[in-house]
């Protein structure tokens, strides 16, 4: 049984089409990323998974129950976690545990605080917490319920490297234990580190869904930045190599080419005695595929 099975989901806000016939499948133990430009519909879709809103069309099955029936076992947040600013991190979790009918003394509050790396500030008021600390406390709150589906909107927002490490470790462990995780992110490196599958939305429609490797394969010829101590001579050789196109302006030497043409260009540079200090994609293959898939999308209004 899939944890999430959405077919033809649409959601309207007045005459704005936020989601337009979206399909989504998420298996138990899968970390599934949602990506897409601002306003693409990611938060709207996550809100439907959390039961915060109801779709206007289509069918949505979560943990075997047809939405809007809300099955137990779903946790997460959109637009930042709801926390009590005047309470400490530990008191927030105790209050949430009580609200959910869990005994705060046996809820494992210390354990979830440790998992997200907040042990040292457990007794500080949340009022003084940074965005990254709030995100981590929101995740700790979700962990208290031992969810089978965890839904997170931009969980990497505001996280420092240590926070990112904690959050990634927690999500990987949950997935290993069979929890399905659906999260949105604007960062391809985060999606790459976390997700086995990704769905890309653009103006409410799915433009890609599948494994990340398949997405990278969709990228066209990439742009590469070439660093050399002799850019003028290198520019001449690059321009004269079949299949290589000069891109970009200014001092940086940027070329666009398929890989065999790049190889030929480097061989010609070396034969001419021009050192190549670096030849690297300007954006990652994933980011290039994302941009190619989402450009030319007009807002759906």
Ligand X SMILES: Nc1ncnc2c1ncn2[C@@H]1O[C@H](COP(=O)(O)OP(=O)(O)OP(=O)(O)O)[C@@H](O)[C@H]1O
Nearer to ligand X, 219 or 300 (CB): 300
Nearer to ligand X, 15 or 103 (CB): 15
Q: Which of 13, 82, 130, 210 binds ligand X (CB under 6 A)?
A: 13
Nearer to ligand X, 119 or 157 (CB): 157
- CB contact at 8 A, 136 and 157: no
Nearer to ligand X, 20 or 144 (CB): 20
- Could you tell me the strand order of the sheet in which 74-77 lies? 74-77, 149-153, 180-184, 31-35, 197-202, 205-211
User: If binding is defined by CB under 6 A, does position 83 make contact with ligand X?
Assistant: no
- CB contact at 8 A, 198 and 191: yes
Of 105, 106, 157, 116, the closest CA to residue 140 belongs to: 116
User: If binding is defined by CB under 6 A, does position 191 make contact with ligand X?
Assistant: no
- Alpha-carbon gap, residue 214 to 150, rounded angstroms: 25
What's the chain's Rg over C-alpha atoms? 23
- Alpha-carbon gap, residue 86 to 128, rounded angstroms: 9
Site for ligand X in 14-53 (CB under 6 A): 16, 18, 36, 38-44
State the minimum distance, in angstroms, from the CB of residue 45 to ligand X. 7
User: If binding is defined by CB under 6 A, does position 249 make contact with ligand X?
Assistant: no
- CB contact at 8 A, 168 and 179: no
Total residues interacting with ligand X, rule: CB under 6 A: 11
Nearer to ligand X, 134 or 166 (CB): 134
Counting every residue written for the chain, the total comes to: 301
- The window from 11-19, 23-31, 65-73, 244-252 that contacts ligand X (CB under 6 A) reads 11-19
State the minimum distance, in angstroms, from the CB of residue 136 to ligand X. 20
Binding site for ligand X (CB under 6 A): 13, 16, 18, 36, 38-44
């Amino acid at each position: 049984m899939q944890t999430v099975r959405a077919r033809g989901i649409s959601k309207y806000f007045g005459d704005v089409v936020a989601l337009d016939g979206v399909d989504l499948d998420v298996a138990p133990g899968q970390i599934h990323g949602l990506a897409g430009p601002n306003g693409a519909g990611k938060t709207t879709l996550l809100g439907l998974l959390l039961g915060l809103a109801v779709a206007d069309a289509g069918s949505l099955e979560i943990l075997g129950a047809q939405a809007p029936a809300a099955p137990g076992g779903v946790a997460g947040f959109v637009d930042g976690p709801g926390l009590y600013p005047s309470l400490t991190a530990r008191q927030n979790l105790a209050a949430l545990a009580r609200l959910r009918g869990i005994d705060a003394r046996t809820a494992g509050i210390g354990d979830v605080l440790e998992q997200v790396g907040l042990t040292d500030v457990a007794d500080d008021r949340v009022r003084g917490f940074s965005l990254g600390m709030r995100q981590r406390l929101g995740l700790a709150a979700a962990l208290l319920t031992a969810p089978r589906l965890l839904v997170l909107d931009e969980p990497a927002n505001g996280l420092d490297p240590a926070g990112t490490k904690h959050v990634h470790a927690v999500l990987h462990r949950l997935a290993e234990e069979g929890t399905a995780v659906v999260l949105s992110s604007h960062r391809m490196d985060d999606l790459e580190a976390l997700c086995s599958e990704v769905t890309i939305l653009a103006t409410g429609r799915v433009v890609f869904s599948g494994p990340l490797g398949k997405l990278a394969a969709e990228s066209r010829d990439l742009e590469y930045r070439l660093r050399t101590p002799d850019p003028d001579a290198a520019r001449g050789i690059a321009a004269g190599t079949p299949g290589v196109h000069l891109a970009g302006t200014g001092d940086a030497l940027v070329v666009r080419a398929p890989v065999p043409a790049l190889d030929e260009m480097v061989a010609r540079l070396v034969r001419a005695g021009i050192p190549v200090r670096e030849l690297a994609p300007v954006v990652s293959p994933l980011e290039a595929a994302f941009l190619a898939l989402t450009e030319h999308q007009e807002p759906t209004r």
